[in-house]
Amino acid sequence: MLRKVLIANRGEIALRVVRECLDQGIETVSVYSTADKDALHVMTADEAVCIGEASPQKSYLKMSNIIEAALGTGCDAIHPGFGFLSENAEFARLCEDNGIKFIGPSAKVIELMGNKAAAREMMKESSVPVVPGSDGAVANIQAALEIASAIGYPILVKASAGGGGKGMRIAKSEDELKNAFEQARLEADAAFGDDSVYIEKLVVNPRHIEVQILADAHGNVIHLGERNCSIQRRNQKMIEEAPASALHQKTREKLCEAAVKAAQISGYEGAGTVEFILDDEENFYFIEMNTRLQVEHPVTEMVTGVNIVAEQLRIASGLPLMYRQKDIEFRGYAIECRVCCEDPLKNFSPCPGKIDFVHFSAGFGVRTDSALYGGAEISPFYDSMAAKIITWGNSRLQAIRKMRRALSETIISGVDTTLQFNHLVMYNRRFLRGKYTTAFIDNELDKLLKLLQTTEDLGKRKRKDSKEE
């Protein structure tokens, strides 16, 4: 088993990994920027090392500082969490070169799957369904126009490297494609240092379904079922659930089989996620593989009982998976709401500041992953997500009802959050029906914001009346 692990991340995921390591009897080292010196992951680890200034480029993305911290504290492994350097092949290779186990797949696999165009071609050659599009990166606008004409509009221009919706543009005509192609290249170069793009047929209003996989160094690969991650804004997920509702069992089985195949052909090791889109007829297509732990992994843990972070540590130690596919049982439904320090009424603008008071819900089937505490600072330098609230029920409706309660009981004062917005989604008819698509937020946003404004106005009126009394 691993002896000492450095967690190259911050916030709730750093705390999650620290806790798991401590539960396993593994020593922990947290790293932090000057902005995070009082963060909970710093307080709970066995050791903590400052790796730079507040800016991510000078701390959490500073590879040399992280490696130096790991070597200086005698760590034999680094857990990258998600975001930051978690899918950086150069960082994984740097760990390997310094005799430090990178808790994830090899640099070679990260590099392969990080290039979406190359990953797409590998899947295509292995009969994993892919969206019709270009064979690899597209060299110039003329080639792009020819491909678009062959597969038909609308089309999607996508960065070959990276993710998170960056370097992605939709084009519905030749004129739009000319501009979209150039804009996608510029954004891809700025975000990833790689301006190469490829082209796919745009599947209009798809469902975004992903499959969690685990793979060890001994050739064992299993899946932990699928998650519906279709509620997104600006290509960023907001609410996830497992299993995906309104999905035929045969489609579910084929999705999971394809995900396992994708992991096998890539030589994958660790926890990973294979992402697909589904059209109205449940035809599904591979879009990418995330070579890391996903933000939404808790919903899968809730319906399978599998501790995914514990399995990551086990795999990194060279041990075989604790489970075989026949051991995995799916029970009930789970939902996750991401609570972000943002103001929905101001175009979801970030709301950094000091947390005055925090109270999270509890009870059977309710879980909260967060590093918040009264007095904590929400920094403007990092992602605005402050907590993940996850609920489980025997039925989807029961999980939803528990989420309604959990959100209403949660108190985060001092900054604006998306708590109330998420709460309103739990009552939305389209959400309750279960067969929603990635267009959900676009279609329902105005309605949700009007309701939110009404509830906020009522709240202000009540507070005013109570003061006057």
Give yes or no for a contact between 164 and 87, defined as CB atoms under 8 angstroms apart: no
Instruction: Determine which of 3-12, 69-78, 108-117, 304-313 has the lowest per-residue pLDDT on average.
Output: 108-117
Of 53-57, 113-117, 294-298, 391-395, the least confident: 113-117
Nearest to 325 by CA among 304, 345, 351, 300: 304
pLDDT of 111 higher than 60: yes
Integer Cα distance of 23 and 15 in angstroms: 12
User: Looking at residue 468, what is its pLDDT?
Assistant: 59
The pLDDT of residue 459: 66
Label residue 54 exposed, middle or buried (CB < 10 Å: 0-12, 13-18, 19+): middle
> Which residues are bridge partners to 236 per DSSP?
233
CA distance linking residue 195 with residue 161, whole number of Å: 8
Of all residues in the chain, the percent with pLDDT exceeding 90 is: 88
Pick the catalytic residue: 10, 227, 292, 314?
Answer: 292
Edge-first strand listing for the sheet containing 284-290: 284-290, 270-278, 207-215, 221-233, 236-242, 333-340, 385-393, 366-370
Q: Which band of pLDDT confidence, cut at 50, 70 and 90, is reported for residue 456?
A: confident
How far apart, in whole angstroms, are the C-alpha atoms of residue 232 and residue 440?
Answer: 8
pLDDT band at 455 (very low <50, low <70, confident <90, very high): confident
Residue 163, pLDDT score: 66
Q: If you count them, how many residues does the chain have?
A: 469
Cα–Cα dist 24/279, whole Å: 43
Q: How confident is the model at residue 467 (pLDDT cuts 50, 70, 90)?
A: low
Which residue has 């089309």 as its token pair? Answer: 155
Q: 23-32 pLDDT, tens per residue?
A: 999 999 999 9
What is d(CA 350, CA 314) in angstroms, rounded to the nearest whole number? 37
Rounded percentage of the chain residues whose pLDDT exceeds 70: 97
Which of 156, 139, 159 has the alpha carbon at shortest distance from 148? 156
Q: What's the distance, Cα to Cα, between the start and end of the chain in Å?
A: 63
Angstrom distance (rounded) from CA 428 to CA 89: 41
Spell out the long-range contacts of 50-55 with Cβ–Cβ below 8 A and sequence spacing 24 or more. Answer: 54/379, 54/381, 55/381
**pTM: predicted TM-score of the whole model, two decimal places:** 0.91
Q: Is 120 a catalytic residue?
A: no
The answer to whether residues 315 and 272 touch, using CB atoms and an 8 Å cutoff, is no
Domains of the chain: 4-103 (3.40.50.20), 132-201 (3.30.1490.20), 207-456 (3.30.470.20)
Strands (E) located in 188-269? 197-201, 207-215, 221-233, 236-242
Look at 158-167, 178-187, 301-310, 440-449 and tell me which has the smallest mean pLDDT.
158-167
Task: Indicate the SS3 state at residue 313.
Answer: helix
10 Å CB burial of residue 457 (0-12, 13-18, 19+) is exposed
Q: Which residues, including other chains, have CB under 8 Å from residue 49's CB and lie 6 or more apart? A: 29, 30, 31, 32, 69, 72, 73
CB-based burial, 412-448: b 16+ in 10 Å, e otherwise: bebbbbbbbbbbbbbebeebeeeebbbebbeebeeeb
Model pLDDT for residues 143-195, shown as the tens digit of each residue = 999 999 999 999 999 998 866 677 899 999 999 999 999 999 999 988 888 99
Token reading at 133: 């599009």
C-beta atoms surrounding 328 within 10 Å: 16
Q: What is the mean pLDDT of the chain?
A: 95
Residue-wise pLDDT tens digits, 45-86: 999 999 999 999 999 999 999 999 999 999 999 999 999 999
Q: 270 has which bridge partners?
A: 215
